[in-house]
Amino acid sequence: MRKTITSAKKLGNGWRALVETKVKNFLVTGRPGIGKTTCLTRTVEILTSRGVSVGGMVTYEVREKGERIGFNIRDVFTGKEGVLARVGLASGPRVGKYTVNLHDLETTGVEAIRSALRECQVVVIDEIGPMELYSKSFLAAVTSALNSEKPVIATIHERAQSFEEGRRILGRSDVKLYTLTLANREAMPSRIAREVASLLSKK
């Protein structure tokens, strides 16, 4: 412990700057199917029930006859929807068996993030992952949100460390990362909502 304190002192002003950095970006990760989107949407419900204005984008899977055929995007604030990815789309980047619809991602998802930055107290982004990061506009919007003064709640792909953009985001000093598990997923929305509400109360 003594060595840790000594090395911290040697950092001088740099250490004090790190300690004083305010965490305001809350990221949720975990394995596919663990409930990251559900966690985010429940957190949104808690905040909005307390009068907090929340905007941004969420994604959800689309099934046909019990089989997943793709993902849609929804603007949390306006309810506008678009197609994020589908099996069998004619053109666009491929991620596994899905083709990404960059047009809807940018006109619905990216615009939802930009609108939330202008009009809402909290910005939500679901998900920062391989499909979405094919769009430079999406990455720019995410960066703007993370750099803003507003709290951000986002889901991030479990293998985010494997791509440069993910490593850069996770390495930020204003980011707090939660790993969702079966044991903590029921309590997590309330926990994140409390932290965000606490931040807002200090403004």
Dmax (CA) for the chain in angstroms is: 62
Does 66 map to a domain?
no
Range of the domain at 117: 19-58+110-201
Does 121 map to a domain?
yes
pLDDT score of 187 more than 60: yes
Does 47 map to a domain?
yes
Does 154 map to a domain?
yes
Q: Compute the residue count for the chain.
A: 203
pTM of the predicted structure, to 2 decimals: 0.88
pLDDT score of 12 more than 50: no
Does 94 map to a domain?
no
pLDDT of res. 21: 60
Does 53 map to a domain?
yes
Q: What angle do CA 77, 36, 32 make, to 5 degrees?
A: 135
C-alpha 113/C-alpha 102 separation (Å) is: 15
Domain at 165, CATH number: 3.40.50.300
* Amino acid in the structure at residue 154: A
Does 103 map to a domain?
no
Does 13 map to a domain?
no
Domain count, the chain: 1
Question: Sign of the C-alpha dihedral, residues 5, 11, 13, 17?
Answer: negative
pLDDT grade for 1, boundaries at 50, 70 and 90: very low
pLDDT of res. 202: 85
Half-sphere exposure of 121 (CA within 13 A, CB side): 16
- At 96-153, the pLDDT tens digits run 999 999 999 999 999 999 999 999 999 999 999 999 999 999 999 999 999 999 999 9
pLDDT of res. 14: 44
